[in-house]
Amino acid sequence: MQKNKLEPPPKDVEVTLETKHLFGFTARKPIRGKTDLVVDDSVVVPHNKYLLLKYDCHINVECTIGQTGSPKYTCKYVTKMGEVVCAKIHKTKFNENGEEVIDFDEGERHLIARIMTGCEGWMKSGNIWVIKQSHIVECLQVHLEGDNTKVFEPGYEAEAADKDDKSQLLSFFALCKKDKYAQKYTYRDIPQHYRYTNGAWVKRKITPSKF
């Protein structure tokens, strides 16, 4: 259950049963029988008197529901580290027209500034999904004959050129030649029944429900 803080109604607005849910609760508390203190939802903070007196510090009390909610919530705040700023000094560059050019690699800055906590590192090492996906997204390669991509290290261009051409599209054609079951599926539908691994399509043991 989540309790949202609502603003009190303006002075010139009359609160009715139909509009009561739009405003927060406002009350007046007398101090020593003389001064009235206006109290509303904006000054309400969830707290625990026992924890405040024991640890002598500011503590907000929140409730997590579920078997995995509590440990995940506590570990997240313990290992989230502090605030980090990534900065870099760039030299001023000018193009042929004399205009100032800012050489900023946004992808590189994102990788450098990103912080992986201990919890996230443990989940990635155990091949545990950090986020939930409603559908599995499979990117299929499409290319003309002889234009498939080859990955190689510098200095090994000749060896890469002599290797057999492998791609998802070429492997799909090879699969349809020897597997009659795969012939009834199009290239777009083949990931639902086969998975691409080590340069070949292998039949799935479990068919994903959402693709």
Going by pLDDT thresholds of 50, 70 and 90, the confidence category of residue 2 is: very low
Q: What is the mean pLDDT of the chain?
A: 77
Across 40-49, 54-63, 79-88, the highest mean pLDDT is recorded for 54-63
Structure tokens at 39: 């109290």
Closest by CA position to 211, among listed 129, 131, 136: 136
3-state percent helix, strand, coil for the chain, nearest multiple of 5: 30, 10, 60
Determine the pLDDT at residue 29: 61
Closest by CA position to 191, among listed 170, 168, 167: 168
Contacts for 207 with CB less than 8 Å, ≥ 6 apart: 192, 193
What pTM value is reported for the model? 0.39
Radius of gyration of the chain (CA): 31
Share of the chain above pLDDT 90, in %: 6
